[in-house]
């Protein structure tokens, strides 16, 4: 064969190595794009999770406050009745209705000490 009739055929190993090189380049490019996408999406995702946690905490606090408000409103409603006003006036201020008499039992200091000793001895005997 002469030089003019010879064709230059690339060796198979060169073709395969070029194909593999392009494939590696494409793989690294895809990996890079994936990492960038994950990096870009991670920040909003983390922020979203933080906001969800804050929302859960605020809802819990809101429910606790609603329960406290309901209890306070119930107390207000009870205190606005005539029976409750009378009960508190009798209990706290010793007030009585017309025709009733009020009595108070005053304890002397020795009586108080005796009562405390009896209570203490009862507790010791039970314990």
Rounded to whole angstroms, the Cα distance separating 112 from 44 reads 70
76, pLDDT greater than 80:
yes
Structural tokens at position 116: 């405390």
Which tokens belong to 37? 């996408």
Question: Does the structure show a pLDDT above 60 at 23?
Answer: yes
Say if residue 56's pLDDT is above 70.
Answer: yes
Q: For the whole model, what pTM was predicted?
A: 0.46
Judge whether residue 127 has pLDDT over 50.
no
CB 99 within 8 A of CB 93: no
What pLDDT is recorded for position 3? 54
Structure tokens at 89: 């006036």
């Amino acid at each position: 064969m002469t030089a003019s009739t010879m064709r230059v055929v690339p060796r198979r190993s060169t073709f395969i190595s070029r194909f593999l090189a392009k494939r590696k380049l494409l793989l690294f490019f895809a990996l890079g794009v994936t990492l960038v996408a994950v990096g870009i999406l991670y920040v909003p995702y983390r922020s979203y999770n933080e906001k969800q946690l804050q929302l859960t905490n605020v809802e819990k606090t809101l429910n606790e406050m609603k329960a406290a408000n309901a209890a306070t409103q119930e107390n207000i409603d009870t205190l606005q009745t005539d029976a409750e006003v009378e009960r508190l006036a009798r209990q706290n201020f010793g007030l009585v209705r017309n025709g009733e008499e009020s009595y108070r039992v005053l304890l002397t200091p020795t009586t108080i000490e005796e009562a405390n000793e009896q209570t203490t001895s009862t507790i010791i005997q039970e314990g």
